[in-house]
Amino acid sequence: MANPEKKTILIVDDEPDVLKYLTTYLEDNGFATISAVDGRDGFQKAKESLPDLITLDITMPEESGVRMFRNLQDDEKLRNIPVVIITGISSEFEHFIKTRKQVDPPTAYFEKPIDRSELLGKIKEILKMI
């Protein structure tokens, strides 16, 4: 169970190394984390835990990050959770997702490999912790 004083971040990525890296980095910086390996798992964990923020990969087996992002937007309880896209897909995808009429754009977008201090700063800014 997540510590109620800590902000909880749901990390959704199919790469075990990325999950471990982000989990360790965010926990070392005072966050509670929950991990998910694809969009289906991530959506279920989002419904169960109502995290403060979600980091979301795009290209994953089973269910993509795009599908999970749309599912979050369609869910009354989850649509206001900030989503930070972290992906290896080019910046053209950022333009694509930001111009979709069906969904609101993600709160932030980072290409892999990420600048971890930039990511941490953005997360703190989004969660109003600076």
pTM of the model: 0.89
121 and 29 Cβ atoms separated by less than 8 Å: no
Asked if residue 8 lies in contact with residue 33, where contact means CB atoms within 8 angstroms, the answer is yes
3 part of a folded domain: no
Tell me, yes or no, whether 84 lies in a domain: yes
Q: What is the pLDDT of residue 66?
A: 85
95-115: average pLDDT: 76
In a domain, 106, yes or no: yes
Q: What is the dihedral of CA 58, 55, 38, 47, to 10 degrees?
A: -130
Task: Dump pLDDT digits (tens) for 9-53.
Answer: 999 999 999 999 999 999 999 999 999 999 999 999 999 999 999
Domain assignment present for residue 1? The answer is no
Does 30 fall in a domain?
A: yes
Domain count, the chain: 1
Residue 58 lies in a domain: yes
| Residue 112 confidence (pLDDT) above 80 | yes
User: Which CATH number does the domain housing residue 40 bear?
Assistant: 3.40.50.2300
- Between strands 53-56 and 32-36, the pairing is unpaired
* 55 — pLDDT class (breaks 50, 70, 90): very high
Predicted local confidence at residue 63, as pLDDT: 82
User: Would 54 be classed as within a structural domain?
Assistant: yes
User: pLDDT tens digit string along 59-104?
Assistant: 888 888 889 999 999 999 999 999 999 987 766 655 666 666 666 7
Is there a domain that residue 2 lies in? no
Whole domain around residue 47: which residue ranges? 8-126
